[in-house]
Amino acid sequence: MSRMAICAIFAAAVASGCGVSSANSPGAGEPQVSRAASNLPKPASFAEWKAQFRPRAIAAGVSPGTVDQALAGLTENPEVVRLDGAQSEFTKPIWEYLDGAVSADRVATGRAKFAQYGGTLDAIEARYGVDKEAFVAIWGMESSYGTYKGSMPVIRSLATLAYEGRRRDFAEDQLVAALRIVDAGEAAPSQLVGSWAGAMGHTQFMPTSYLTYAVDFTGDGRRDVWSADPTDALASAAHYLKQSGWVHNQPWGVEVKLPKGFDYALADQAQRRPVADWRARGVTRIDGSALPDYAPAAILAPAGARGPAFAIYDNFYVIKKYNNATSYAMGVGHLANRIGGGSTIQGAWPRHERELSRTEKIEMQERLTAKGYDTGTKDGVIGPNTISAIRAYQQARGMTPDGFATVALLQTMR
Ligand SMILES: [Ca+2]
Protein backbone atom coordinates (compact mmCIF):
# COMPACT_ATOMS: atom_id res chain seq x y z
CA MET A 1 0.00 0.00 0.00
CA SER A 2 2.80 2.39 -0.57
CA ARG A 3 2.13 5.40 -2.70
CA MET A 4 4.36 3.76 -5.29
CA ALA A 5 2.14 0.75 -5.24
CA ILE A 6 -0.98 2.82 -5.67
CA CYS A 7 0.59 4.57 -8.61
CA ALA A 8 1.63 1.28 -10.15
CA ILE A 9 -1.88 -0.04 -9.87
CA PHE A 10 -3.48 3.12 -11.13
CA ALA A 11 -1.01 3.57 -13.95
CA ALA A 12 -2.18 0.24 -15.24
CA ALA A 13 -5.78 0.60 -14.26
CA VAL A 14 -7.40 3.98 -14.20
CA ALA A 15 -4.53 6.43 -14.57
CA SER A 16 -5.57 8.15 -11.41
CA GLY A 17 -3.69 11.18 -10.18
CA CYS A 18 -0.73 9.74 -8.41
CA GLY A 19 1.71 12.25 -7.10
CA VAL A 20 -0.89 14.84 -6.13
CA SER A 21 0.44 14.85 -2.62
CA SER A 22 3.53 13.71 -0.86
CA ALA A 23 3.95 10.03 -0.26
CA ASN A 24 4.69 7.78 2.61
CA SER A 25 4.18 4.13 3.21
CA PRO A 26 2.08 2.19 5.65
CA GLY A 27 3.83 0.67 8.57
CA ALA A 28 6.39 3.44 8.74
CA GLY A 29 6.14 3.25 12.51
CA GLU A 30 6.56 -0.49 12.65
CA PRO A 31 9.78 -2.04 13.82
CA GLN A 32 12.28 -2.28 11.04
CA VAL A 33 14.19 -5.48 10.61
CA SER A 34 17.30 -4.07 9.03
CA ARG A 35 18.73 -0.62 8.64
CA ALA A 36 22.25 -1.07 7.53
CA ALA A 37 21.94 -1.67 3.81
CA SER A 38 21.90 1.91 2.58
CA ASN A 39 24.74 2.90 4.90
CA LEU A 40 26.95 0.54 2.95
CA PRO A 41 28.24 1.34 -0.51
CA LYS A 42 25.95 0.07 -3.22
CA PRO A 43 27.11 -3.44 -4.18
CA ALA A 44 28.92 -3.69 -7.49
CA SER A 45 26.45 -6.17 -8.89
CA PHE A 46 23.15 -7.85 -8.12
CA ALA A 47 25.07 -11.06 -7.39
CA GLU A 48 27.17 -9.21 -4.84
CA TRP A 49 24.03 -7.74 -3.27
CA LYS A 50 22.62 -11.26 -2.95
CA ALA A 51 25.78 -12.46 -1.21
CA GLN A 52 25.61 -9.52 1.22
CA PHE A 53 21.87 -9.82 1.79
CA ARG A 54 21.92 -13.53 2.69
CA PRO A 55 23.51 -13.15 6.16
CA ARG A 56 21.41 -10.06 6.92
CA ALA A 57 18.20 -11.98 6.19
CA ILE A 58 19.33 -14.92 8.30
CA ALA A 59 20.28 -12.56 11.13
CA ALA A 60 16.78 -11.10 10.87
CA GLY A 61 15.36 -14.54 11.54
CA VAL A 62 14.62 -16.00 8.10
CA SER A 63 15.66 -19.64 7.76
CA PRO A 64 18.72 -20.24 5.54
CA GLY A 65 16.70 -22.66 3.43
CA THR A 66 14.08 -20.05 2.59
CA VAL A 67 16.71 -17.42 1.80
CA ASP A 68 18.63 -19.77 -0.48
CA GLN A 69 15.49 -20.93 -2.23
CA ALA A 70 14.43 -17.32 -2.83
CA LEU A 71 17.83 -16.15 -4.09
CA ALA A 72 18.59 -19.14 -6.32
CA GLY A 73 18.46 -18.00 -9.93
CA LEU A 74 16.96 -14.65 -8.91
CA THR A 75 17.68 -11.83 -11.36
CA GLU A 76 16.98 -8.13 -11.40
CA ASN A 77 13.74 -6.96 -12.95
CA PRO A 78 14.58 -4.08 -15.30
CA GLU A 79 10.91 -3.08 -15.50
CA VAL A 80 10.90 -2.46 -11.75
CA VAL A 81 14.01 -0.28 -12.06
CA ARG A 82 12.36 1.71 -14.82
CA LEU A 83 9.12 2.23 -12.91
CA ASP A 84 10.95 3.20 -9.70
CA GLY A 85 12.96 5.81 -11.58
CA ALA A 86 10.00 7.30 -13.41
CA GLN A 87 9.16 10.55 -11.65
CA SER A 88 6.35 12.15 -13.53
CA GLU A 89 6.77 15.79 -14.52
CA PHE A 90 3.04 16.34 -14.67
CA THR A 91 0.51 15.32 -12.03
CA LYS A 92 -3.19 15.88 -11.84
CA PRO A 93 -4.80 18.51 -9.64
CA ILE A 94 -6.85 17.07 -6.82
CA TRP A 95 -10.20 17.56 -8.57
CA GLU A 96 -9.06 15.45 -11.53
CA TYR A 97 -7.65 12.86 -9.16
CA LEU A 98 -11.02 12.66 -7.40
CA ASP A 99 -12.86 12.48 -10.74
CA GLY A 100 -10.96 9.26 -11.41
CA ALA A 101 -10.83 7.88 -7.90
CA VAL A 102 -14.53 8.42 -7.26
CA SER A 103 -15.88 7.87 -10.76
CA ALA A 104 -19.54 7.02 -11.29
CA ASP A 105 -18.44 3.53 -12.33
CA ARG A 106 -16.43 3.00 -9.16
CA VAL A 107 -19.34 4.19 -7.01
CA ALA A 108 -21.76 1.88 -8.83
CA THR A 109 -19.40 -1.09 -8.52
CA GLY A 110 -18.93 -0.37 -4.82
CA ARG A 111 -22.69 -0.43 -4.31
CA ALA A 112 -22.90 -3.70 -6.24
CA LYS A 113 -20.21 -5.18 -3.98
CA PHE A 114 -22.25 -4.06 -0.99
CA ALA A 115 -25.14 -6.14 -2.27
CA GLN A 116 -22.96 -9.10 -3.25
CA TYR A 117 -21.02 -9.35 0.03
CA GLY A 118 -23.56 -7.79 2.38
CA GLY A 119 -23.47 -10.39 5.15
CA THR A 120 -19.69 -10.69 5.09
CA LEU A 121 -19.22 -6.93 5.20
CA ASP A 122 -21.61 -6.63 8.15
CA ALA A 123 -19.73 -9.38 10.00
CA ILE A 124 -16.38 -7.65 9.40
CA GLU A 125 -17.82 -4.31 10.52
CA ALA A 126 -19.22 -5.94 13.67
CA ARG A 127 -15.91 -7.60 14.58
CA TYR A 128 -13.61 -4.62 14.02
CA GLY A 129 -15.88 -1.65 14.56
CA VAL A 130 -14.91 -0.17 11.22
CA ASP A 131 -17.59 1.16 8.90
CA LYS A 132 -17.97 -1.13 5.90
CA GLU A 133 -18.10 1.82 3.50
CA ALA A 134 -14.53 2.66 4.52
CA PHE A 135 -12.86 -0.68 3.89
CA VAL A 136 -14.86 -1.25 0.71
CA ALA A 137 -13.69 2.18 -0.49
CA ILE A 138 -10.10 1.16 0.23
CA TRP A 139 -10.71 -1.99 -1.81
CA GLY A 140 -12.03 0.17 -4.66
CA MET A 141 -9.10 2.56 -4.50
CA GLU A 142 -6.36 -0.04 -4.12
CA SER A 143 -7.32 -2.62 -6.73
CA SER A 144 -10.61 -1.49 -8.28
CA TYR A 145 -12.34 -4.14 -6.16
CA GLY A 146 -9.85 -6.86 -6.95
CA THR A 147 -9.64 -6.19 -10.68
CA TYR A 148 -6.02 -4.98 -10.58
CA LYS A 149 -4.18 -6.80 -7.83
CA GLY A 150 -0.90 -6.97 -9.74
CA SER A 151 0.83 -10.12 -10.94
CA MET A 152 4.53 -9.34 -10.64
CA PRO A 153 6.67 -11.63 -8.46
CA VAL A 154 7.03 -9.69 -5.22
CA ILE A 155 10.32 -11.23 -4.09
CA ARG A 156 12.00 -10.34 -7.38
CA SER A 157 10.60 -6.79 -7.31
CA LEU A 158 11.67 -6.15 -3.74
CA ALA A 159 15.12 -7.66 -4.29
CA THR A 160 15.55 -5.37 -7.28
CA LEU A 161 14.51 -2.33 -5.23
CA ALA A 162 16.69 -3.39 -2.30
CA TYR A 163 19.66 -3.51 -4.65
CA GLU A 164 19.12 -0.23 -6.48
CA GLY A 165 15.83 1.40 -5.65
CA ARG A 166 15.28 4.90 -4.31
CA ARG A 167 14.49 3.48 -0.85
CA ARG A 168 16.80 0.51 -0.39
CA ASP A 169 16.30 0.02 3.35
CA PHE A 170 12.54 0.10 3.02
CA ALA A 171 12.65 -2.44 0.17
CA GLU A 172 14.99 -4.74 2.09
CA ASP A 173 12.73 -4.64 5.16
CA GLN A 174 9.81 -5.57 2.94
CA LEU A 175 11.82 -8.34 1.29
CA VAL A 176 12.71 -9.85 4.67
CA ALA A 177 9.03 -9.68 5.63
CA ALA A 178 8.08 -11.43 2.39
CA LEU A 179 10.57 -14.21 3.18
CA ARG A 180 9.07 -14.51 6.66
CA ILE A 181 5.66 -15.07 5.07
CA VAL A 182 7.22 -17.90 3.05
CA ASP A 183 9.05 -19.22 6.11
CA ALA A 184 5.81 -19.37 8.07
CA GLY A 185 4.26 -21.46 5.33
CA GLU A 186 1.60 -18.83 4.66
CA ALA A 187 2.40 -18.63 0.96
CA ALA A 188 4.78 -20.15 -1.53
CA PRO A 189 7.18 -17.71 -3.22
CA SER A 190 5.25 -18.08 -6.47
CA GLN A 191 2.06 -17.02 -4.70
CA LEU A 192 3.59 -13.73 -3.61
CA VAL A 193 2.52 -11.56 -6.51
CA GLY A 194 1.54 -7.92 -6.57
CA SER A 195 2.43 -4.49 -7.86
CA TRP A 196 5.95 -3.65 -9.04
CA ALA A 197 6.53 -2.04 -5.62
CA GLY A 198 5.57 -5.19 -3.72
CA ALA A 199 1.99 -4.40 -2.67
CA MET A 200 -0.14 -7.51 -2.62
CA GLY A 201 -3.73 -8.49 -3.13
CA HIS A 202 -7.14 -6.82 -3.00
CA THR A 203 -6.11 -4.12 -0.54
CA GLN A 204 -2.45 -3.92 -1.62
CA PHE A 205 -0.75 -4.91 1.59
CA MET A 206 2.99 -4.54 1.79
CA PRO A 207 4.65 -7.62 3.39
CA THR A 208 5.27 -5.90 6.76
CA SER A 209 1.62 -4.82 6.87
CA TYR A 210 0.60 -8.38 6.03
CA LEU A 211 2.64 -9.75 8.93
CA THR A 212 1.20 -7.19 11.35
CA TYR A 213 -2.40 -6.80 10.24
CA ALA A 214 -3.57 -9.61 7.96
CA VAL A 215 -6.25 -11.84 9.48
CA ASP A 216 -7.94 -15.14 8.66
CA PHE A 217 -11.58 -14.13 8.65
CA THR A 218 -12.87 -17.13 6.72
CA GLY A 219 -11.55 -19.50 9.38
CA ASP A 220 -9.68 -21.85 7.05
CA GLY A 221 -6.37 -21.24 8.82
CA ARG A 222 -4.89 -19.07 6.05
CA ARG A 223 -4.56 -15.31 5.88
CA ASP A 224 -5.28 -15.21 2.18
CA VAL A 225 -5.23 -11.70 0.71
CA TRP A 226 -4.40 -12.92 -2.79
CA SER A 227 -7.20 -15.21 -3.96
CA ALA A 228 -10.44 -14.31 -5.69
CA ASP A 229 -12.37 -14.28 -2.42
CA PRO A 230 -11.79 -10.82 -0.90
CA THR A 231 -13.02 -11.73 2.60
CA ASP A 232 -9.65 -12.05 4.34
CA ALA A 233 -8.27 -8.98 2.56
CA LEU A 234 -11.25 -6.83 3.52
CA ALA A 235 -11.10 -7.98 7.13
CA SER A 236 -7.35 -7.30 7.12
CA ALA A 237 -7.93 -3.75 5.87
CA ALA A 238 -10.58 -3.25 8.57
CA HIS A 239 -8.14 -4.58 11.16
CA TYR A 240 -5.48 -2.16 9.88
CA LEU A 241 -7.89 0.78 10.18
CA LYS A 242 -9.01 -0.29 13.64
CA GLN A 243 -5.43 -0.59 14.88
CA SER A 244 -4.78 2.86 13.41
CA GLY A 245 -7.54 4.35 15.56
CA TRP A 246 -10.72 4.18 13.48
CA VAL A 247 -13.78 5.56 15.24
CA HIS A 248 -16.97 3.67 14.35
CA ASN A 249 -19.93 5.63 12.98
CA GLN A 250 -17.98 8.84 12.73
CA PRO A 251 -17.42 10.63 9.39
CA TRP A 252 -13.93 11.22 8.04
CA GLY A 253 -15.10 14.73 7.36
CA VAL A 254 -17.97 16.85 6.14
CA GLU A 255 -18.08 19.59 3.55
CA VAL A 256 -18.38 23.01 5.13
CA LYS A 257 -19.24 26.60 4.34
CA LEU A 258 -16.66 29.07 5.61
CA PRO A 259 -17.83 32.56 6.63
CA LYS A 260 -16.81 35.65 4.72
CA GLY A 261 -13.47 36.84 6.00
CA PHE A 262 -12.45 33.40 7.32
CA ASP A 263 -8.78 33.31 8.17
CA TYR A 264 -7.39 30.76 5.72
CA ALA A 265 -4.22 30.48 7.73
CA LEU A 266 -6.36 28.27 10.00
CA ALA A 267 -7.28 25.91 7.17
CA ASP A 268 -4.49 23.50 7.94
CA GLN A 269 -4.59 19.78 8.73
CA ALA A 270 -2.26 20.32 11.68
CA GLN A 271 -4.58 22.88 13.33
CA ARG A 272 -7.05 20.65 15.14
CA ARG A 273 -9.46 22.49 17.44
CA PRO A 274 -12.68 21.80 19.35
CA VAL A 275 -15.74 21.98 17.12
CA ALA A 276 -17.12 24.73 19.38
CA ASP A 277 -14.20 26.87 18.25
CA TRP A 278 -15.03 26.43 14.56
CA ARG A 279 -18.71 27.02 15.25
CA ALA A 280 -17.85 30.25 17.04
CA ARG A 281 -15.92 31.32 13.96
CA GLY A 282 -19.03 30.81 11.85
CA VAL A 283 -18.14 27.51 10.16
CA THR A 284 -21.24 25.46 9.26
CA ARG A 285 -22.03 22.43 7.17
CA ILE A 286 -22.39 23.21 3.49
CA ASP A 287 -26.19 23.40 3.90
CA GLY A 288 -25.86 25.89 6.75
CA SER A 289 -26.63 23.44 9.55
CA ALA A 290 -24.46 23.04 12.62
CA LEU A 291 -21.07 21.38 12.31
CA PRO A 292 -21.15 17.83 13.78
CA ASP A 293 -19.44 17.78 17.14
CA TYR A 294 -16.73 15.16 16.85
CA ALA A 295 -13.70 16.73 18.44
CA PRO A 296 -11.19 17.70 17.42
CA ALA A 297 -11.61 18.98 13.89
CA ALA A 298 -9.42 20.74 11.38
CA ILE A 299 -10.41 22.67 8.28
CA LEU A 300 -9.08 21.40 4.95
CA ALA A 301 -9.26 23.47 1.78
CA PRO A 302 -7.26 21.31 -0.61
CA ALA A 303 -7.56 23.71 -3.55
CA GLY A 304 -7.26 26.90 -1.56
CA ALA A 305 -9.75 29.67 -0.91
CA ARG A 306 -11.52 29.24 -4.24
CA GLY A 307 -12.30 25.55 -3.80
CA PRO A 308 -14.46 23.43 -1.49
CA ALA A 309 -13.63 23.17 2.20
CA PHE A 310 -14.11 20.36 4.69
CA ALA A 311 -14.07 19.80 8.42
CA ILE A 312 -11.95 16.72 8.99
CA TYR A 313 -12.09 14.45 12.02
CA ASP A 314 -10.06 11.58 13.47
CA ASN A 315 -10.86 9.10 10.71
CA PHE A 316 -9.28 11.34 8.06
CA TYR A 317 -5.95 10.93 9.81
CA VAL A 318 -6.58 7.19 10.20
CA ILE A 319 -6.97 6.83 6.43
CA LYS A 320 -3.69 8.70 5.99
CA LYS A 321 -1.99 5.99 8.04
CA TYR A 322 -2.94 3.61 5.25
CA ASN A 323 -1.47 5.94 2.66
CA ASN A 324 -0.09 9.29 3.74
CA ALA A 325 -1.51 11.50 1.01
CA THR A 326 -4.26 14.06 1.40
CA SER A 327 -5.61 13.23 -2.04
CA TYR A 328 -5.79 9.53 -1.15
CA ALA A 329 -7.58 10.17 2.15
CA MET A 330 -10.07 12.41 0.38
CA GLY A 331 -10.55 9.77 -2.30
CA VAL A 332 -11.24 6.98 0.19
CA GLY A 333 -13.45 9.19 2.34
CA HIS A 334 -15.51 10.57 -0.50
CA LEU A 335 -15.82 7.19 -2.22
CA ALA A 336 -17.05 5.73 1.08
CA ASN A 337 -19.64 8.51 1.34
CA ARG A 338 -20.83 7.96 -2.21
CA ILE A 339 -21.06 4.17 -1.83
CA GLY A 340 -23.12 4.79 1.29
CA GLY A 341 -25.54 6.98 -0.63
CA GLY A 342 -24.00 10.36 0.14
CA SER A 343 -23.97 13.27 -2.28
CA THR A 344 -21.23 14.62 -4.49
CA ILE A 345 -19.02 17.48 -3.34
CA GLN A 346 -21.12 20.67 -3.59
CA GLY A 347 -18.46 23.35 -3.80
CA ALA A 348 -16.88 24.20 -7.15
CA TRP A 349 -13.25 23.32 -7.74
CA PRO A 350 -11.06 25.95 -9.45
CA ARG A 351 -10.92 23.85 -12.62
CA HIS A 352 -9.41 26.72 -14.60
CA GLU A 353 -6.22 26.34 -12.56
CA ARG A 354 -3.40 24.28 -13.99
CA GLU A 355 -1.37 22.04 -11.69
CA LEU A 356 2.22 23.23 -11.59
CA SER A 357 4.70 20.90 -13.23
CA ARG A 358 7.34 19.27 -11.08
CA THR A 359 9.94 21.68 -12.46
CA GLU A 360 7.71 24.64 -11.59
CA LYS A 361 7.12 23.30 -8.09
CA ILE A 362 10.87 23.03 -7.56
CA GLU A 363 11.27 26.56 -8.88
CA MET A 364 8.63 27.77 -6.42
CA GLN A 365 10.41 25.99 -3.57
CA GLU A 366 13.74 27.55 -4.59
CA ARG A 367 12.26 31.03 -4.91
CA LEU A 368 10.43 30.78 -1.57
CA THR A 369 13.58 29.61 0.18
CA ALA A 370 15.64 32.37 -1.45
CA LYS A 371 13.11 34.93 -0.18
CA GLY A 372 13.49 33.60 3.36
CA TYR A 373 10.55 31.16 3.47
CA ASP A 374 12.26 27.83 3.96
CA THR A 375 10.45 24.94 2.26
CA GLY A 376 12.80 22.27 3.57
CA THR A 377 13.57 19.88 0.74
CA LYS A 378 13.18 21.14 -2.82
CA ASP A 379 11.75 17.97 -4.27
CA GLY A 380 8.90 19.28 -6.39
CA VAL A 381 6.33 17.93 -3.93
CA ILE A 382 4.07 20.48 -2.25
CA GLY A 383 4.06 19.07 1.30
CA PRO A 384 3.31 20.67 4.67
CA ASN A 385 6.59 22.64 4.81
CA THR A 386 6.07 24.13 1.37
CA ILE A 387 2.44 24.96 2.15
CA SER A 388 3.57 26.76 5.33
CA ALA A 389 6.16 28.70 3.35
CA ILE A 390 3.55 29.69 0.75
CA ARG A 391 1.20 30.88 3.51
CA ALA A 392 3.92 33.02 5.07
CA TYR A 393 4.77 34.50 1.67
CA GLN A 394 1.08 35.24 0.99
CA GLN A 395 0.55 36.72 4.45
CA ALA A 396 3.51 39.07 4.11
CA ARG A 397 2.01 40.44 0.89
CA GLY A 398 -1.57 40.83 2.10
CA MET A 399 -2.79 37.90 -0.01
CA THR A 400 -5.24 35.24 1.23
CA PRO A 401 -2.95 32.78 3.03
CA ASP A 402 -4.46 29.58 1.69
CA GLY A 403 -1.16 27.88 0.90
CA PHE A 404 -2.34 26.86 -2.55
CA ALA A 405 0.35 26.76 -5.24
CA THR A 406 -0.88 28.33 -8.47
CA VAL A 407 0.68 29.54 -11.70
CA ALA A 408 -0.25 33.14 -10.80
CA LEU A 409 1.46 32.82 -7.44
CA LEU A 410 4.63 31.53 -9.05
CA GLN A 411 4.55 34.52 -11.42
CA THR A 412 4.43 36.95 -8.48
CA MET A 413 7.60 35.32 -7.18
CA ARG A 414 9.53 35.76 -10.40
CA1 LIG B 1 -8.74 -17.44 5.35
171 CA distance to ligand 1 centroid (A)? 27
304 CA distance to ligand 1 centroid (A)? 45
Average pLDDT over residues 92-112: 97
Average pLDDT over residues 98-118: 97
Predicted confidence band of residue 101 (pLDDT cuts 50, 70, 90)? very high
Average pLDDT over residues 1-25: 36
Predicted confidence band of residue 111 (pLDDT cuts 50, 70, 90)? very high
Q: What pLDDT does residue 15 have?
A: 31
Average pLDDT over residues 124-148: 98
Asked if the model's pLDDT at residue 1 lies above 60, the reply is no
Average pLDDT over residues 128-143: 98
Asked if the model's pLDDT at residue 30 lies above 50, the reply is no
244 CA distance to ligand 1 centroid (A)? 22
- pLDDT (tens digit, 9 = 90+) per residue, 140-158? 999 999 999 999 999 999 9
Higher pLDDT pick, 255 / 6 = 255
215 CA distance to ligand 1 centroid (A)? 7
* Other residues' Cβ atoms within 10 Å of the Cβ of residue 69: 16
Predicted confidence band of residue 162 (pLDDT cuts 50, 70, 90)? very high
- pLDDT (tens digit, 9 = 90+) per residue, 310-328? 999 999 999 999 999 999 9
Average pLDDT over residues 41-53: 93
Average pLDDT over residues 241-261: 97
* Other residues' Cβ atoms within 10 Å of the Cβ of residue 115: 8
235 CA distance to ligand 1 centroid (A)? 10
Predicted confidence band of residue 166 (pLDDT cuts 50, 70, 90)? confident
Q: What pLDDT does residue 125 have?
A: 98
Whether omega before 296 lies within 30 degrees of 0, making that bond cis, reads yes
Cα–Cα distance measured from residue 99 to residue 14, given in angstroms and rounded to the nearest whole number: 11
Q: What pLDDT does residue 36 have?
A: 56
- pLDDT (tens digit, 9 = 90+) per residue, 345-373? 999 999 999 999 999 999 999 999 999 99
243 CA distance to ligand 1 centroid (A)? 20
Asked if the model's pLDDT at residue 37 lies above 90, the reply is no
187 CA distance to ligand 1 centroid (A)? 12
375 CA distance to ligand 1 centroid (A)? 47
Asked if the model's pLDDT at residue 182 lies above 50, the reply is yes
Asked if the model's pLDDT at residue 219 lies above 60, the reply is yes
- pLDDT (tens digit, 9 = 90+) per residue, 51-70? 999 999 999 999 999 999 99
Average pLDDT over residues 259-274: 96
Q: Find all residues with CB under 8 Å of 202, minimum gap 6, and list them.
A: 139, 142, 143, 145, 146, 149, 225, 230, 233, 234
34 CA distance to ligand 1 centroid (A)? 30
139 CA distance to ligand 1 centroid (A)? 17
Cα–Cα distance measured from residue 384 to residue 391, given in angstroms and rounded to the nearest whole number: 10
Tell me the one-letter amino acid at 72: A
Please give the backbone phi and psi of residue 292, each rounded to the nearest 5 degrees, phi first. -60, 140
7 CA distance to ligand 1 centroid (A)? 28
Cα–Cα distance measured from residue 336 to residue 134, given in angstroms and rounded to the nearest whole number: 5
Predicted confidence band of residue 42 (pLDDT cuts 50, 70, 90)? confident
Mean pLDDT score of the chain: 91
Q: What pLDDT does residue 6 have?
A: 42
Q: What pLDDT does residue 88 have?
A: 83
Cα–Cα distance measured from residue 89 to residue 86, given in angstroms and rounded to the nearest whole number: 9
Asked if the model's pLDDT at residue 31 lies above 50, the reply is no
